[in-house]
Amino acid sequence: MTQLLLPDTSKTRILVVGDVMLDRYWFGEVSRISPEAPVPVVKVERTEERPGGAANVARNCAALGAKASLLSVVGADEAGQTLARLLADEGIETSLHEDAELSTTIKLRVVARQQQLLRIDFENCPAHEVLRAKLADFERQLPHCDAVILSDYGKGGLAHIGEMIRLARDQGKPVLVDPKGEDFVRYAGATLLTPNRAELRYVIGRWASEAELKEKAMRLCESLRLDALLVTRSEEGMSLFVGEQALHEPAQAREVYDVSGAGDTVIASMAVMLASGADMHQAMRIANRTAGIVVGKLGTAVVTLDELRATL
């Protein structure tokens, strides 16, 4: 295996579009069971807030040295304002379109003794008029980026994703998509899709061998006119299908602490490295390293260039 070298990411510009959310954490201790129901009582000792979803993708791009811009929709509420503040603190340019009828998506996690006990979600879908305005904003920002990430969490913020892919490809911009759901047709024409193993099974069905997986993956790339498909496979590592090749990277031997947000780190790593001059295989090898680092952290997190260099 050739030595893994990092390209210069300092001048790379990434435009991230998709569903944002605010990740809230309540940390506490459990010492008794509730007398009202057979559930633990958590005495909350501290709280934490982090940008999630597409906002976490943008954070990961910035942590890897790129200049990240984020385009999304939030509610005219406290959670939306908190997201904007957290992202500004990290130097991320944001264009957050407010929808008065929308509640900014919140994922509230209750954690005790480093274990997640409960997650509560608050969400609804944005209005069509706000999404159309976001599409016009996308067209304005497109010429100023080197690559586009479309982060689909199924919250309704990417209703015009087909048009976004077409506009970006017409301008020669690579488009990387983190997909959601059982229908990948809406992602046709993208440069790269990054489904996990379970998401891919929904679309192509099960496979009994690596040869069958390769055949089905190649067929999907052809039918959707994709340049490549990157499948994250948990303990089985990653597989990249590009052209007639199937390339595999084994999982990094690390203790898995929390996989939430790992997909955000993977697609951010791929986009930053590709836009900085790496080829697909080199970018995948780097993304595999960043994934191995981030699963060792609690909650939605980022991997810095220094952390990445320490693994090379």
Which amino acid, residue 267?
I
* Dihedral sign, Cα of residue 277, residue 280, residue 281, residue 286: positive
Nearest Cα to Cα of residue 190 among 116, 271, 79: 271
Catalytic residue numbers?
264
Give the contacts of 248 (CB within 8 A, at least 6 positions apart).
237, 238, 239, 240
Give the contacts of 122 (CB within 8 A, at least 6 positions apart).
103, 105, 106, 108
What does residue 230 show for φ and ψ, rounded to 5 degrees? -115, 120
Q: Are strands 40-53 and 106-112 parallel, antiparallel or unpaired?
A: unpaired
Contact 283, 249 (CB under 8 A): no
Q: Distance between CA atoms of 309 and 73, rounded to whole angstroms? A: 34
